[in-house]
Structure 1
């Protein structure tokens, strides 16, 4: 369920109805893209953020138990190639759970800049439903980058 309500998104897009859930799907995608760019999740309220942290920590604990079980099972496999594939798959799931936990812990309550950026991304997704041959695939609208950059974390080296 998106943080930005569907009615606001439809007004932004100037559409009367969401036929087949197209706007909702694109809104979810726009919010996900913004969160991935920020390296943190955003929430409608502080209470929603607090709840998400609790749920994410519980999920992390569950994934760590599953990781140990998967590693134990993989180590019983005689074939080294198969064993390494299983260990690698378990490691990837653990890393994903750790990243989701970090993104939740470093979350932020949505603000007008993040909302505007998501709506710009949504507009781009809605208007450009086909592959674009003259732009970079991972390119966000310039206005969205400008609005999101102050809230971005963990840029790396």
Structure 2
């Protein structure tokens, strides 16, 4: 569920109500995704949504373990050694990714004004700069940008 509504996004980037929604939806989703990636946790609109996500943790971990165990059991029947090794590695990677996603959910955070503002800042940047190239201007990162707003809520995950 997006933290920033389409109406809030339109107001922030100062476009009219008839501006195509699909042109803003990607930027809204990308802005929230970027904030979640930087925080290493999921962002929820309220405490109930966070509690619901946390309640699914045991099921998610169990499903990941079952999928890994099934893949490992199936790998026993693969005759080619390289293929068997690849299958085992893929099952471990899938398991670690599923656990990381479950961890990001249980360590989630309810959106607060700083997180909301950081998403809007990123949205404004994505709207104003629709390409990777800046022509005729010197580009610099603002000192009090989105990362500054998000940093206090960041969950640093060690490899």
TM score, norm. by length of structure 1:
0.87
String of CA shifts for 1:39-74, please: whole Å, max 9, x gaps.
Answer: 111111000001112234423322221111011112
Q: CA deviation at 1:145?
A: 0.9
Distance 1:12 1:60 in 2: 39
Q: Which stretches in structure 1 are left out of the alignment for 5+ residues?
A: 135-139
Q: CA deviation at 1:86?
A: 1.1
User: Is 1:62 equivalent to 2:63 in the alignment?
Assistant: yes
| 8 A contact 2:43–2:110 mirrored in 1 | yes
User: Is 1:12 equivalent to 2:12 in the alignment?
Assistant: yes
User: Is 1:120 equivalent to 2:111 in the alignment?
Assistant: no
Q: Which moved more, 1:113-122 or 1:56-65?
A: 56-65
Count of residues paired in the alignment: 153
Q: Which stretches in structure 2 are left out of the alignment for 5+ residues?
A: 136-140
Aligned residue in 2 for 1:154: 156
Which protein is bigger by CA-based radius of gyration?
2
| 8 A contact 1:40–1:153 mirrored in 2 | yes
Distance 1:10 1:116 in 2: 14
Distance 1:97 1:130 in 2: 33
TM score, norm. by length of structure 2:
0.86
Distance 1:96 1:103 in 2: 10
Aligned residue in 2 for 1:137: none
CA distance 1:18–1:106, shift in 2 (3 Å):
farther
Distance 2:19 2:97 in 1: 32
Runs of 4+ with >3 A deviation: none
| 8 A contact 1:56–1:100 mirrored in 2 | no
Distance 2:76 2:19 in 1: 50
| 8 A contact 2:46–2:111 mirrored in 1 | yes
| 8 A contact 1:120–1:141 mirrored in 2 | no
